Structure 1
Amino acid sequence: MALGTCRAVLVTGCNRGIGLGLVRGFLARSPSPDLVIATCRHPDQAQELQHLKKQHQNLRVLQLDILCENSIKKATQETEALVGEQGLNCLINNAGINRIATLDSVTAQDMLALYETNTVAQLMVSKAFLPLLRKAAYQDVVMGIHRAAIINVSSQSASMQLFSQNKKSEEVYPYRIAKTALNMITCCLAADLISDGILCMSLEPGWVKTDMGGSKAPLQLKEIIPGILNVLANVREKDHGAFLNWKGEVVPW
């Protein structure tokens, strides 16, 4: 029900992988959101997105480089023109990068690059779109993506409690540390935005076979996307500030 009443959703990093899968999933739902906004750095090169755009009248493709302040500002203005006074109901911070780096090989450049992209940028994008999320939040009183929500795509490797179960994550020092910091952003946003009625949560999509996830990943997009959409459709105030996986299970911090 919530997805059907979610007027406008924006997803970052949609040229491939989970972002593209989410866009496809939203468009395939019945009913689908009135407006699905897919963003990526180079829309002209995103052939699958452009193909989807021709097939679905409710899809808009916008240029957004999450590391560029001017690009964020421009995408925010373009989104405002699309959503009007009803605002943006759901922002999914999915864009991110990974880099193999062990204790022996990791460099300061690795750490700074992933922290900027996977953590700082997510906060700056959320901050930029807050006015539009607040507009949407005023339209309802029940928390959920049908009202207003920020969903941060995190990782199980970010869980400090599950560290011993994620030994492979030792190969991705910068990634797991940046995602752990992203989880703290979720907690901070949840504390600050509860009075606005904007639901904030971290989402763990699983280790998925994508360009970033690699060929050894055990999960397929077609398996996890319906699960993610079902989780999003049912999140409510009890899930504010939570860390959930694609099955809707709580992931320990």
Structure 2
Amino acid sequence: MAGLGARSVLVTGANRGIGLELVRQLLGKPDPPQWVFACSREPDGERGQELRNLASRHPNVVMIKLDATSPASVKDAAGCVEDHLKGSGLNLLINNAGIYKEAFLPLLRRAAQASLQEGLSCRKAAIVNISSLLGSIKLVSLTYGKPAISYRCSKAALNMLTECQAMSYKEDGILCTMIHPGWVKTDMGGQEADVTVDESVRGILSVLSTLSNEHSGAFFDWKGKKLPW
């Protein structure tokens, strides 16, 4: 498997579950990012202890307080990231929790403009939204054993957002895609889930390393299967 190759990665919801494991596995790669920005609402809280332990062992981890529902918090987080990048751009934004306004878009554009690579990829500039199979309108008849209507609607909206981002930012050289991580054994997924956090994240990072032009705006699961949405 080719390496992800991103110099800088930002992960939201990074204090537990999929977000925390994304940070852990990024750091464990042979070519880890120069910067991993690990964002969460309460980095100093009890749930942030594992992330703080990681950060204490890895100087390339920057813990950032970010509440995606607060425009002021998003703006402050973007400023913190920009200060650390010192003029370079942000290569990869993984929206694992919440949705951003356009605060990080200038940093993604900067990375794309500075890249010498042709086409789209996660090592150049990319937005990856963590979605769900339950957000697929096409597959409702197959997945409605678990109604979860409000969750479905929010993920369906996220899928539409991703498609719009893909169309809007293509000329900027920014790849945009959405990933279904599987039914994962997390606090949210529960212990009856059939995919471990480790398996899910290994799959996600493997998929991200293969993405290019034709994948922007598409919906994939953690095994790389293309899904209808």
TM-score, normalisation: structure 2: 0.95
Contact 2:3–2:31 (Cα < 8 Å) also in 1: no
1:15 is matched with 15
* Coordinate RMSD, CA, aligned: 1.1
1:185-239 Cα shifts (integer Å, max 9, x gaps) = 0011111100000000111101101001112111111211111111111111111
Pick from 68, 79, 104 the counterpart of residue 129 of structure 1.
Answer: 104
Query: Residues 146 and 2 (structure 1 numbering): CA distance in 2 closer, same or farther, change over 3 Å?
Result: farther
Matching residue's letter, 2:167: A
1:123-162 Cα shifts (integer Å, max 9, x gaps) = 41xx110000000001223311111000010000011111
How many residues are treated as equivalent by the alignment? 224
Contact 1:2–1:234 (Cα < 8 Å) also in 2: no
1:50 aligns to what SS in structure 2?
helix
2:25 is matched with 25
Q: Quick check: which one's helix share is greater?
A: 1
1:176 aligns to what SS in structure 2?
helix
Segment drifting more, 216-225 vs 204-213: 216-225
Matching residue's letter, 2:79: Q
Q: 2: distance between equivalents of 1:123 and 1:191?
A: 17
Return 5+ residue gaps in structure 2 as ranges. none
Whether 1:175 and 2:151 are equivalent positions in the alignment is: yes
1:188 is matched with 164
Q: 2: distance between equivalents of 1:25 and 1:168?
A: 33
Matching residue's letter, 2:15: N
Q: 1: distance between equivalents of 2:92 and 2:84?
A: 14
**How do residues 55-204 of structure 1 correspond to structure 2 at under 5 angstroms?**
55-96=57-98, 122-124=99-101, 127-140=102-115, 141-170=118-147, 172-204=148-180
TM-superposed CA distance for 1:87, in Å, is 0.7
1:55-87 Cα shifts (integer Å, max 9, x gaps) = 112111100000011100000000001112221
2:177 aligns to what SS in structure 1?
strand
Q: 1: distance between equivalents of 2:85 and 2:119?
A: 20
Contact 1:8–1:89 (Cα < 8 Å) also in 2: yes
Q: 1: distance between equivalents of 2:12 and 2:63?
A: 10
TM-score, normalisation: structure 1: 0.86
Contact 1:40–1:63 (Cα < 8 Å) also in 2: yes
1:112 is matched with none
Matching residue's letter, 2:132: S
Q: 1: distance between equivalents of 2:103 and 2:169?
A: 14
Q: Following superposition, which runs of at least 4 residues in structure 1 exceed 3 angstroms of deviation? A: none
Query: Residues 236 and 2 (structure 1 numbering): CA distance in 2 closer, same or farther, change over 3 Å?
Result: farther
Contact 2:68–2:100 (Cα < 8 Å) also in 1: no
Contact 1:169–1:176 (Cα < 8 Å) also in 2: no
Return 5+ residue gaps in structure 1 as ranges. 97-121
1:79-102 Cα shifts (integer Å, max 9, x gaps) = 001112221000011015xxxxxx
